[in-house]
Amino acid sequence: MAETSDQESKTEEPTEKKVRDALEQGKIPVSREASIFASMAALMVIQAFLIGHGVQQLTPTLKSLLDDPEGFPLSTGADAQNLLSVVGLQAVRFLLPLVVVLVVFGLAASLLQNAPRLVLQRIKPDLSRISPVSGWSRLFGTQGLIEFAKSLFKLAAVTAVVAFVLRASEARAFEAMYTDPVALPEMILNIAMRIVSAICIATIVLVAIDLAWARFHWRRELRMTKQEIKDEHKQAEGDPLIKARLRSLARDRSRQRMIASAARATLVIANPTHFAIALRYKREENPAPLVVAKGMDVIALKIREVAEQNRIPVIENKALARALYEAVQVDQVIPAEFFRPVAEIIYFLQSKQAPRTEKVQ
């Protein structure tokens, strides 16, 4: 009951992360009926194209062995080894194409359903697989009942198909009693091909339904509750408190770097205590003054303190300091509209040898 109520609470479609994690863990939608159908199709191909040719190649060796057993002496161990090598080689030549076809069809059935993935977690021991309680729930749960219904359908379909084919071949079976025994293998092969072909045709509908059900059941098992989606978003975006703390630390480090850069300034334009903009102007470095630091209130006082420690001129101009603070960005040159007033200050400092703190109106 707890499992049922838990499943009922999962009403939301799985997120991309949930689907991606399931694929990485090897939890993929797989249709068992598709694999069985691939095996039957491979058997049909073997009967139609390989079995006859293989038997023709194997027949001379078996015929020579049965007709002339004395031609294969078994007096010594070497004779026995020679006989086994001959028979074994013919058996490998006969069976190898059949095995290759079965493997190719089996791999195709798997690859067409899902892309190949190496998931080592799937081969780890899982004690729940041998738990009687888990096994009982799997056997008599929803999935177990569905598998039982599919098995019943397959049994009924195969029984009906085999009965129909055998009924239609009944006359040929009676005629075989009066025909040459050499023709019996071909007749049996034809009947077997008809049975396998009919089974493949009869199970196509089951395979299509099972493929759709495997995808639907897989998506349903991955459904999430609203709380799980919230937790996933929170985990992906990070804890708001931690993010705020990290942003605060980043701002502090940025301010420290900016205040340290004020030591490289050529002059500082200030509004006595509220604003301070540190500018660096070297004709060989930049075509216009570069903003190396700016700040207000406490930061402005820190910039002025660094300027005084490094004997950098501080020019007090309230209007220009406020305008620059609003318009400029750190590590960028000042806008063109400030070229003239700043150039006048630089000229004033260079020509008049101004003291470290001046008031410019």
Range from 112-126, 142-156, 190-204, 218-232 carrying the lowest mean pLDDT: 112-126
Question: Do residues 31 and 115 make contact, with C-beta atoms less than 8 angstroms apart?
Answer: no
Task: Tell me the CA distances in angstroms from 247 to 233, 250, 252, 331, one per residue in order.
Answer: 19, 5, 9, 20
Mean pLDDT within 216-230: 87
Can you list the domains of the chain with their CATH numbers? 28-117+127-221 (no CATH), 244-359 (3.40.1690.10)
Mean pLDDT within 154-160: 84
Please count the other Cβ atoms lying within 10 Å of the Cβ belonging to residue 58.
16
pLDDT score at 1 = 43
Please count the other Cβ atoms lying within 10 Å of the Cβ belonging to residue 72.
14
pLDDT > 60? residue 2: no
Closest to 259 in 3D by CA, of 285, 281, 278, 280: 278
pTM assigned to the model: 0.55
Tens-digit pLDDT profile for residues 53-93: 888 888 887 777 777 777 777 778 787 888 788 888 888 98
pLDDT > 90? residue 349: no
pLDDT > 60? residue 356: no
Tens-digit pLDDT profile for residues 17-61: 888 888 888 788 888 888 889 998 999 999 888 888 888 888 887
Mean pLDDT within 301-321: 87
Higher confidence at residue 216 or residue 232? 216
pLDDT score at 354 = 47
DSSP code of residue 41: H
Question: Do residues 174 and 136 make contact, with C-beta atoms less than 8 angstroms apart?
Answer: no
pLDDT > 70? residue 338: yes
Task: Tell me the CA distances in angstroms from 307 to 264, 268, 332, one per residue in order.
Answer: 9, 7, 19
Using pLDDT thresholds of 50, 70 and 90, give the confidence band for residue 139.
low
pLDDT score at 42 = 92
> Tokens 């309680």 label which residue?
133
Residue 295, burial from CB neighbour count under 10 angstroms (0-12, 13-18, 19+): buried
Q: Which 3 state secondary structure label does DSSP give 26?
A: coil
Question: Do residues 313 and 357 make contact, with C-beta atoms less than 8 angstroms apart?
Answer: yes
Amino acid at position 33, single letter? E
pLDDT score at 102 = 92
pLDDT score at 100 = 94
Q: What is the mean pLDDT of the chain?
A: 81
